[in-house]
């Protein structure tokens, strides 16, 4: 395993008082403090409902957007929603399209082709809209960086409303560089009154539909039929599961079981999942990748058409196609990771920022490979490949804590043709002649200390196995859903004896163990790792320190308690 630093939280508070005030155990009180949940936020964290989340009218230009769209809807003007080709763009487009059509809008959609068009709004989409008599363009999950494209649309007489959630670029004088649209909704705009800026594009879209419903005299609660898609996008776009995002995902996952969307239910069934018991893991690693696979390898319109399809047979065919594309994507990803790792491992020294050029890599999987490299080496990682445009490279990056990827690209922007993104992820295009300069300047600018380049594994409590029981599991469930920004509680124990171990799985990547801690408590455990490498290490020592969490394992109708090992260090 990659070297990591283990640290036990030592935050102080009156855990007894918190326990009494919120009817939780002192242990859960400690974990909430470890998560930086302030006492005045704990009730919302534990018990918050959809009624507690901020109103969409706090978003910048929301009132203006509702006014414009209401007028267009009543006049039956042609409205085109232009999303993006990833899961957030697909869900955003679906939410706006279904919400506006429910109000009688004359609305359709367009989504760029990843290879032919690139990210977001582009001149080809603008020209197509103008040629087809479109009156109004509404972007979602894109548009904030499309200043030239929005200007071209406005010059051709189109009304343009931008809804986005990405970072806003700034000029040399520090001023925001907003697109010249008729309205720009983005929680990251300067001076925005919206209290939580880390929402995805689909949540912005959902808020817009809520406000439109209110304007037309419909209860905004009617828009909750679209909540599952805001939740799916929040998880799929790796938004922090804090504040309202956590509530949206928690309630959205509950609503998926009763969601009447045929395409979504067919995809869930095709992936052999229970719609009434979906977790963030199922969305992030099963459903989400399938929805993304269309945009990566074929067209994002495949995923969107599946969600819009009312015929069950055609919906099932689309779900099967998405599943097959995702299986293909997995193999392409593994090939790319293998090639990138060989290149990195051949370097005389591991740089602070990894920039890998994979000539034969499909550009749609560059971001996934970058993410896997980041996890493997714990370095900000960029993966670049040949663009469709001769002489240019396209790529994606994934970051680590302490390295703001969007700002890093701003610092080298003279080298780039196009870029955009978040603190933790970004996309870019640059002339291939600038590849060496790009790599060198990123590393020269990177102010990352050696300590920042070693991942810290935070341990909530050093917990003997006896306390890892069903009561603890039930109480920890109040913290769900887990994910980015709301990680699952982690417990640690030293000098654990391995009583037995056996390797399972066709790829020998699962290890089933029987463990005993120093107090003599025995627990069954499971580790997901290279089984043969684990056994080789175990041959030198049967004692190790472990980081773990407890869970209930259901198999063949039998429920048992087991520990899931997150990390371990053998004792020599």
Q: Which fold has domain 460-570?
A: OB fold (Dihydrolipoamide Acetyltransferase, E2P) (2.40.50)
Each of the 572 residues of the chain gets a pLDDT tens digit; together they read 678 899 999 999 999 999 999 999 999 999 999 999 999 999 999 999 999 899 999 999 999 999 999 999 999 999 999 999 899 999 999 999 999 999 999 999 999 987 777 778 999 999 999 999 999 999 999 999 999 999 999 999 999 999 999 989 888 888 999 999 999 999 999 999 999 999 999 999 999 999 999 999 999 999 999 999 999 999 999 899 999 999 999 999 999 989 999 999 999 999 999 999 999 999 999 999 999 998 888 888 999 999 999 999 999 999 999 999 999 999 999 999 999 999 999 999 999 999 999 998 988 899 999 999 999 999 999 999 998 788 999 999 999 999 999 999 999 999 999 898 878 889 999 999 999 999 999 999 999 999 999 999 999 999 999 999 999 999 999 999 999 899 999 999 999 999 999 999 888 999 999 999 999 999 999 999 999 999 999 999 999 999 999 999 887 778 899 999 999 999 98
Q: What pLDDT shows up at residue 1?
A: 61
Cis peptide before 481 (omega within 30 of 0): yes
In the three-class reduction of DSSP (H, G, I as helix; E, B as strand; rest coil), residue 157 is classed as coil
Which of 339, 298, 305 minimizes the C-alpha distance to 115? 298
Q: Which fold has domain 55-225?
A: inorganic pyrophosphatase (n-terminal core) (3.90.1640)
Which of 262, 256, 255 minimizes the C-alpha distance to 308? 262
User: Pairing relation of β-strands 136-140 and 159-163?
Assistant: parallel
In the three-class reduction of DSSP (H, G, I as helix; E, B as strand; rest coil), residue 391 is classed as coil
Q: What pLDDT shows up at residue 556?
A: 76
Residue 174 Rama label (left phi>0; alpha psi -120 to 50; beta): left
Beta strands in 34-180 (DSSP E): 78-82, 106-110, 136-140, 159-163
> Which two structure tokens, joined as six digits, stand for 475?
């109480």
Q: What pLDDT shows up at residue 389?
A: 82
- Whose structure tokens read 């929040």? 234
In the three-class reduction of DSSP (H, G, I as helix; E, B as strand; rest coil), residue 404 is classed as coil
Q: What pLDDT shows up at residue 114?
A: 78
Q: Map out the domains of the chain as residue ranges.
A: 55-225, 347-453, 460-570
Assign 3-state DSSP to the chain and report helix, strand, coil percentages, each to 5.
45, 20, 35
- Its CATH class, for the domain covering 347-453, is alpha beta
Q: What is the rounded CA–CA span in Å between residue 480 and residue 357?
A: 39
Q: What is the 3-state secondary structure (H, E, C) of 162-221?
A: EECCCCCCECCCCCECCCCCCEEECCCCCCCCCCCCCCCHHHHHHHHHHHHHHHCCCCHH
- The dihedral formed by the CA atoms of 542, 539, 4 and 438, expressed in degrees to the nearest 10: -170
- Whose structure tokens read 């599961």? 241
């Amino acid at each position: 395993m990659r070297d990591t630093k283990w640290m036990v939280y030592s935050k102080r508070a009156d855990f007894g008082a918190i326990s009494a005030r919120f009817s939780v155990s002192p242990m859960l009180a400690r974990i909430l403090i470890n998560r930086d949940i302030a006492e005045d936020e704990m009730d919302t964290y534990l018990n918050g409902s959809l009624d507690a989340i901020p109103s969409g009218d706090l978003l910048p230009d929301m009132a203006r957007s509702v006014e414009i769209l209401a007028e267009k809807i009543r006049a039956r003007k042609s409205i085109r929603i232009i999303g993006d080709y990833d899961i957030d763009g697909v869900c955003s487009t679906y939410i706006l399209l279904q919400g506006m059509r429910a109000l009688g809008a004359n609305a359709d959609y367009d989504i760029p082709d990843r290879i032919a068009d690139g990210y977001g709004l582009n001149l080809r989409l603008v020209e197509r809209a103008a040629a087809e008599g479109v009156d109004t363009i509404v972007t979602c999950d894109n548009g904030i960086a499309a200043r030239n494209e929005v200007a071209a649309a406005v010059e051709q007489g189109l009304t343009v409303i931008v809804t986005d959630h990405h970072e806003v670029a700034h000029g040399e004088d520090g001023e925001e560089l907003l697109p010249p649209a008729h309205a720009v909704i983005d929680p990251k705009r300067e001076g925005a009154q919206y209290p939580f800026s880390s929402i995805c594009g689909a949540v912005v879209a959902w808020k817009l539909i809520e406000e439109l419903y209110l304007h037309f005299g419909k209860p905004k609660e009617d828009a909750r039929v679209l909540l599952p898609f805001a939740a799916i996008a929040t998880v799929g776009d790796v938004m922090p599961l804090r504040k309202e995002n956590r509530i949206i995902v928690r309630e959205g996952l509950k609503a998926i079981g009763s969601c009447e969307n045929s395409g979504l239910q067919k995809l869930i069934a095709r992936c052999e999942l229970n719609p009434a018991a979906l977790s963030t893991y199922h969305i992030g690693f099963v459903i989400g990748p399938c929805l993304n696979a269309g945009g990566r390898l074929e067209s994002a319109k495949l995923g969107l058409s599946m969600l819009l399809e009312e015929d069950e047979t055609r919906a099932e065919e689309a779900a099967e196609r998405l599943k097959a594309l995702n299986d293909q994507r997995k193999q392409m990803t593994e090939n790319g990771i293998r090639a990138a790792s060989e290149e990195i491992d051949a370097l005389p020294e591991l740089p602070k920022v990894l920039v890998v050029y994979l000539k034969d890599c499909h550009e749609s999987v560059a971001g996934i490979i970058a993410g896997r490299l980041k996890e493997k080496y714990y370095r900000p990682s960029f993966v670049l490949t040949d663009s469709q445009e001769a002489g240019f490279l396209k790529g994606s990056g994934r970051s680590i804590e302490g390295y703001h990827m969007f700002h890093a690209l701003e610092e080298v922007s003279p080298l780039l043709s196009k870029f955009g993104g978040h603190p933790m992820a970004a996309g870019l295009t640059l002339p291939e002649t600038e590849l060496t300069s790009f790599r060198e300047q990123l590393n020269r600018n990177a102010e990352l200390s050696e300590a920042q380049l070693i991942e810290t594994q935070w341990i909530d409590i050093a917990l003997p196995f006896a306390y890892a029981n069903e009561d603890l599991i039930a109480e920890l469930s109040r913290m769900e859903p887990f994910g980015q920004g709301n990680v699952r509680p982690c417990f640690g124990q030293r000098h654990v004896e391995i009583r037995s171990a056996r390797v399972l799985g066709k790829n020998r990547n699962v290890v089933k163990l029987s463990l005993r801690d120093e107090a003599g408590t025995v627990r069954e455990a499971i580790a997901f790792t290279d089984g043969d490498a684990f056994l080789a290490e175990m041959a030198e020592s049967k004692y190790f320190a472990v980081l773990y969490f407890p869970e209930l394992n259901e198999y063949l109708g039998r429920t048992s308690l087991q520990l899931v090992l997150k990390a371990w260090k053998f004792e020599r």
